[in-house]
Amino acid sequence: MRILVTGGAGFIGSHITDRLVSEGHSVSIIDNLSTGKAENINKEAKFYKIDIMNPRIERIFKKERPELICHLAAQMDVRRSVADPQFDAQSNILGMLNLLENAVRYGTRKVIFSSTGGAVYGEDGPIPTTETHPPQPLSPYGISKLTGEHYLFFYKQTHGLNYTVLRFANVYGPRQDPFGEAGVVAIFTQKMLRNEQPVINGNGMQTRDYVYVEDVVDAVTSSVYSDVNDIFNVGTGVETSVNELFSLLRDVTGTNIKEMHGPAKKGEQSRSCLSSDKIKKTLEWEPGTPIREGLTRTVDFFRKRL
């Protein structure tokens, strides 16, 4: 199958590209390398350095004629979305519309869209949160991702473009950026391996649902071969506090760094955890990597890099 991966030089996108190439698909990558890295690009995939907002993307669609799009390229910094909602909307809404218009124009069959669990559901959902909970996004990032989901429904009804929406929990693993705002696992891991002091925001009792990147890749590939048009959570259903994560990473890295707490981040969500019952029943996917095992693999990756 001819597959286009947007954000294919990024953390999650590069893992997805590797799997799709290994399964024999013809893969093209679009990435502007603003957060993605050239070293992540699979050598057997075609690479186009371009922003998804650029109208010249049409040339790529005309040449490659992708049958399926895995859309991961996004402005994904929640805090930046709060500071600059207009930029967030340009990338996550207008950029996506640029892709969808070309998808319809050049015969793409399906779009797999990486959405977000915590940022879409907001603060008041049951734990673990199911897909039936009404979305209440608290940030422009969550709003733009939810808007993308609505546009996919529109394009299905109007143009027959199939879709799968995957609402990711907190994805972690090798290749995650330790220098960005997101990715506490990568940030803590690199600091511990360098014997530097990580800082826990607030009291550290805030929880997240940490899902290993290869499990996420499994969910995406299950969606590639499915004809179901629907929205699915991709998480473990297990809450882990930042304090617990710190303790696990300290153990796995073999350091004796003590906890240090800093000010709480304004507007930070206190709890987030996703139910994966629906995707298990429909696509027969479930997470297979316990958090300690995933953290061990992640630490091994960063240790080799250092």
Query: Could you list the active site residues?
Result: 141
> E strands of the chain, at which residues?
2-6, 26-31, 46-49, 68-71, 110-116, 162-168, 170-172, 200-201, 207-208, 210-212, 230-234, 240-241, 261-262
Residue 158 is which amino acid?
Answer: T
Q: 31 phi and psi, to 5 degrees?
A: -160, 135
Residues 6+ away with beta carbon under 8 Å from 297: 173, 174, 212, 289
CA atoms within 13 A on the CB side of 63: 13
- Rounded Cα distance, 36 and 88, in Å: 17
**Length in residues, the chain:** 306
Go through 81-102 and write b for each residue having 16 or more CB atoms within 10 A of its CB, e for each that does not: beeeeeebbebbbebbebbbbb
- Rounded Cα distance, 168 and 153, in Å: 19
157, burial (CB in 10 Å: exposed 0-12, middle 13-18, buried 19+)? exposed
Pair type for strands 240-241 and 207-208: antiparallel
- Rounded Cα distance, 125 and 132, in Å: 10
- Rounded Cα distance, 275 and 256, in Å: 34
- Rounded Cα distance, 293 and 290, in Å: 5
Residue 131 carries which DSSP code?
T
